[in-house]
Structure 1
Amino acid sequence: MEQPQFNTLDDWLAYCEQLHPVGIDMGLTRISVVAKRMGLAFDCPIITVAGTNGKGSTCAMLEAILLQAGYRTGVFTSPHLVHFEERCRVRGDIVKAADLVAQFERVQAARTQGGDAVSLTYFEFTTLAILQLLADAKLDVVILEVGLGGRLDAVNMLDADCAVITSIDLDHMEYLGDTREKIGLEKAHIMRPGKPVIVSDPVPPQSIVDHAAAVGADLWRFGTDFNFSGDKQQWGWAGRGRRYAGLAYPALRGANQLVNASGVLAALTALRDRLPITAQAVRNGLSMVELPGRFQIVPGQPTLVLDVAHNPHSVAALAANLDAMAFYPCTHAVFGAMADKDLAPMLARVAPLIDKWYFTDLPTSRAASAEDLQARWKATNTRSDATSDTYKSPEEALQAAVKAATPTDRIVVFGSFYTVGGILKDGVPRLSAPHLAT
């Protein structure tokens, strides 16, 4: 079979998008065949992270602490905000597009080996390329974020030395099931017999607990095997045979980050025989961790908050974090979301905090239109003083919000990675409301 010749990452990504008849085709059979042809294997510990919310934050904190401890880390996470290369970091740095191109060529050669072509989805093809890059990088530890679910996600073809399951809530129900129990069971399949599984959800579905017992995984439960305590100044953590006291709060904002950080410390404690960590590495890592788009507060006037919250659970956390901020005379919201999301509870949870809505289209066929979002909001809105309008892009919506805002107002951008990514594609915006001009 003649191999395509592509010189750029964008060319390869465009090729991958049209390679398979459907965008999401969950299962491990096809990707495992190609991985075997490639000889894909790791000789370092693998930490796999699944869950509904908190996966990206968990991966970022694991990476930051392990880097501070001197380990050579690799991270695979998805989706990206602006550039595809964001999905892979090696030793703390985002990989270069040219390095990924070479791996795409290897995947293509293995996929079509012997004229027996295996059809791969965009996610399967790109996951193999990134995993092969990580396998070649001579790393001490690899951190892998599950893309969707767990049982049939491409990442699950690899055996985790430690599994982390973050919060479980209703999302992607057409693929994972319509209850927390069903969704929890899908995510529980990243567990392996005899290996630690960290469950940081304070009230996990029983299906997760039962599956750990069924496969013989070493279950670490929040509130039982590890926990945290703290006040406004500092916090502490206690787990099996390990304690940390007087910790500063993670650099990632939001009350939910302590739950995520607790799971991180449990994972590192479970792996301490293979990856010893000092208390100073924990302190430094948590203080330096960065992750764009997770309750990210951008300096300037008006205040700008960026958050990729895109389901009821994460929007509830966003609302709580917004409510805990200082007083703002007016809160403006730029909102774009996928059409398959449970939009009613998302809008209802944050609506009491929003004075002016700026609904936006997004550059994907999966997205709800700005007009549809506005109509859904109007159907449930109970605030007579709230206003709304529609826009063609997140950038256009943000410009309108900045124009309408006073320096003491607040603008929040949320609803999707596409919404926040649209704001960040030209770099982090530095706002200066027109009212400040002299």
Structure 2
Amino acid sequence: MQTLPSTLQEWLARLETMHPKAIDLGLQRVSEVKNRLGIHFDCPVITVGGTNGKGSTCAMLESILLQAGYRVGLYTSPHLLDFNERARINGEPVSDDALVEQFAAVEAQRGEVSLTYFEFTTLAILRLFAQAGLDAVILEVGLGGRLDAVNAIDADVAIVTSVDIDHTEYLGDTRDKIGFEKAGIFRPGRAAICGDPVPPQSLIDHAQAIGADLWLFGRDFNYSGDKQQWNYGGRGQRRNSLGYPSLRGANQLLNASAALAALEALRHRLPVGAQEVRNGLVLVELPGRFQVLPGRPSVILDVAHNPHAAATLGQNLDNMGFFPYTWAVFGAMQDKDVAGVVAQLKDRVDHWCLTGLPLPRAATAERLRQALADAGVAPSNTPGAERTVQAFDSPWEAFVHARNRAGENDRIAVFGSFLTVAGVMEGMRSKRPL
């Protein structure tokens, strides 16, 4: 009889080697084990998919519902620093012991079914939520939608925040192909909310084909506002004189509108007052999404890792006002559209600090340097040069270089892979010397 791991870290190390593929899309395996575990929810479930904006939308939903006094479970991925970030109950990460208990339960029921790391951990967290006596569950969908493990759950409301090009090797290379995959989280007769202002026709067609109750931005819900406040308008509900979400960025009103549309669709099961919406939006927090740290030089953390997110980051940087120089700490996975990300930001960055990342599928700093050269970024690395490109082994080393050379009126944008932002956050948390 095998001995099961006793700590969370031991479990996670084991799960990384249990399945032959890191990503193996499909619902058959996860659905079979889900049924054996008897996972079901009596409370409303909201799933949130999309290319970008998922994390922000989930965080706003959680914050508003917590302000309304509900017991809320939130599942997101990936994490930045600690695995426990993926599972929150009432705004707090769950404990190691709670996760270890659920991992053992999944292991006991999976039998001969081989599960990926993501499938196994998703099932454990779903079972934890199902047993926690919650009033609402919010589930961020991982890669795609249709074949993602989270889609084994039939949600009461499904949100697709945006559709753009990413993960082309799994989802296809056009917005129409990707839109079809994202729309796979919609369910017949249930609210299907799309926050993308220009949704691909495939998403609309799929929602209509299955008989989902499709809510489109601009048709079924929208927003308006000025510099001081904004208003939400839905099918039968208005929210006026709202403060702007504390999450910074140009797209956050789109995300907030989609969240409020979901709450409107659930208003008879999860009623939420006007002040609770206001408080929830003002108090919401989400690390690594255009997160501006206090102090000088300004430091911005943003997990923008595809061209769509990079374009939003560029717009947000423009809205910050004037800075003499912008330093970039940039690391990415090799399967990402690095050229597309660079194209959005090359004219906004003066000094590039490129970094490798601790994963085999990460792009090397030299590959990133080549992408910059291909985009026409021609640096001069002589002392005092106004445009430089340098390579480093880790995000923290790249950040230390930028921090030590930036003037107090400059800014440092840390972006790309979650691991880029996490590497800098971990250095700050452990108070490594600058």
- Shorter-chain TM range is over 0.9
Q: Contact between 1:299 and 1:430, CA under 8 Å: does it hold in 2?
A: no
CA distance in 2, matches of 1:169, 1:97: 35
Q: CA deviation at 1:381?
A: 2.3
AA partner of residue 197 (structure 2): P
Deviating above 3 A after TM superposition, structure 1's stretches of 4 or more consecutive aligned residues are: 382-385, 426-433
* 1:352 alignment partner, SS class: coil
Q: CA deviation at 1:424?
A: 1.1
| Partner residue in 2 for 1:17 | 16
Given the alignment, which residue of 222, 229, 245 partners 2:224? 229
Q: Contact between 1:72 and 1:91, CA under 8 Å: does it hold in 2?
A: yes
| Partner residue in 1 for 2:151 | 156
The question of 1:315 aligning with 2:291 is answered no
* 2:185 alignment partner, SS class: coil
Structural mapping, 1:305-344, within 5 Å: 305-344=300-339
AA partner of residue 414 (structure 1): F
- Give me the TM-score of the superposition, normalised by structure 1: 0.96
Relative to structure 1, is the Cα distance of residues 14 and 373 closer, same or farther in structure 2, using a 3 angstrom cutoff?
same
AA partner of residue 113 (structure 2): V
CA distance in 1, matches of 2:428, 2:227: 32
Structural mapping, 1:121-200, within 5 Å: 121-200=116-195
Q: Contact between 2:5 and 2:11, CA under 8 Å: does it hold in 1?
A: yes
CA distance in 1, matches of 2:413, 2:43: 40
The question of 1:73 aligning with 2:72 is answered yes
Relative to structure 1, is the Cα distance of residues 429 and 102 closer, same or farther in structure 2, using a 3 angstrom cutoff?
closer
Q: Which moved more, 1:370-379 or 1:133-142?
A: 370-379
Question: Over residues 363-402 of structure 1, what are the superposed CA-to-partner deviations in whole Å (9 max), with x where a residue is unaligned?
Answer: 1111101111112111212455421100011011100001
Q: CA deviation at 1:146?
A: 0.5
Q: Contact between 1:402 and 1:431, CA under 8 Å: does it hold in 2?
A: no
CA distance in 2, matches of 1:26, 1:106: 23
AA partner of residue 79 (structure 1): P
CA distance in 1, matches of 2:205, 2:20: 36
Structural mapping, 1:358-373, within 5 Å: 358-373=353-368
CA distance in 1, matches of 2:428, 2:377: 36
Report sequence identity in percent. 60
Q: Contact between 1:256 and 1:317, CA under 8 Å: does it hold in 2?
A: yes
Q: CA deviation at 1:301?
A: 1.0
Q: Contact between 2:161 and 2:194, CA under 8 Å: does it hold in 1?
A: yes
Relative to structure 1, is the Cα distance of residues 382 and 362 closer, same or farther in structure 2, using a 3 angstrom cutoff?
closer
Structural mapping, 1:19-98, within 5 Å: 19-98=18-97
Which sections of structure 2, spanning at least 5 residues, go unmatched? 380-385
| Partner residue in 1 for 2:414 | 413
Q: Contact between 2:396 and 2:427, CA under 8 Å: does it hold in 1?
A: no
| Partner residue in 2 for 1:377 | 372
Relative to structure 1, is the Cα distance of residues 15 and 382 closer, same or farther in structure 2, using a 3 angstrom cutoff?
closer
The question of 1:242 aligning with 2:219 is answered no
AA partner of residue 83 (structure 1): D
Which sections of structure 1, spanning at least 5 residues, go unmatched? 434-438
CA distance in 1, matches of 2:50, 2:243: 25
* 1:152 alignment partner, SS class: coil
Q: Contact between 1:413 and 1:419, CA under 8 Å: does it hold in 2?
A: yes
CA distance in 1, matches of 2:262, 2:298: 35
CA distance in 2, matches of 1:287, 1:327: 26
The question of 1:208 aligning with 2:203 is answered yes
Q: Contact between 1:201 and 1:222, CA under 8 Å: does it hold in 2?
A: yes
Q: Contact between 2:190 and 2:212, CA under 8 Å: does it hold in 1?
A: yes
| Partner residue in 1 for 2:383 | none
| Partner residue in 1 for 2:402 | 401
Q: Contact between 1:359 and 1:374, CA under 8 Å: does it hold in 2?
A: yes
Relative to structure 1, is the Cα distance of residues 395 and 432 closer, same or farther in structure 2, using a 3 angstrom cutoff?
closer
CA distance in 2, matches of 1:409, 1:40: 51
AA partner of residue 94 (structure 2): V
* 1:150 alignment partner, SS class: coil
AA partner of residue 12 (structure 1): W
Q: CA deviation at 1:3?
A: 3.4
Question: Over residues 290-334 of structure 1, what are the superposed CA-to-partner deviations in whole Å (9 max), with x where a residue is unaligned?
Answer: 000000000011100000000000000000000110211110000
* 1:189 alignment partner, SS class: helix
Q: Contact between 2:80 and 2:422, CA under 8 Å: does it hold in 1?
A: yes
Q: Contact between 2:75 and 2:125, CA under 8 Å: does it hold in 1?
A: yes
How many pairs align? 428
| Partner residue in 1 for 2:426 | 425
Question: Over residues 203-252 of structure 1, what are the superposed CA-to-partner deviations in whole Å (9 max), with x where a residue is unaligned?
Answer: 00011111111111111100000110111111111111111111110000
* 1:64 alignment partner, SS class: helix
* 1:332 alignment partner, SS class: strand
CA distance in 2, matches of 1:316, 1:428: 29
Question: Over residues 146-191 of structure 1, what are the superposed CA-to-partner deviations in whole Å (9 max), with x where a residue is unaligned?
Answer: 0111111000011010000011000001000110000000110111
Relative to structure 1, is the Cα distance of residues 100 and 227 closer, same or farther in structure 2, using a 3 angstrom cutoff?
same
| Partner residue in 1 for 2:382 | none
RMSD across aligned positions (CA)? 1.4
| Partner residue in 2 for 1:436 | none
Q: CA deviation at 1:428?
A: 5.4
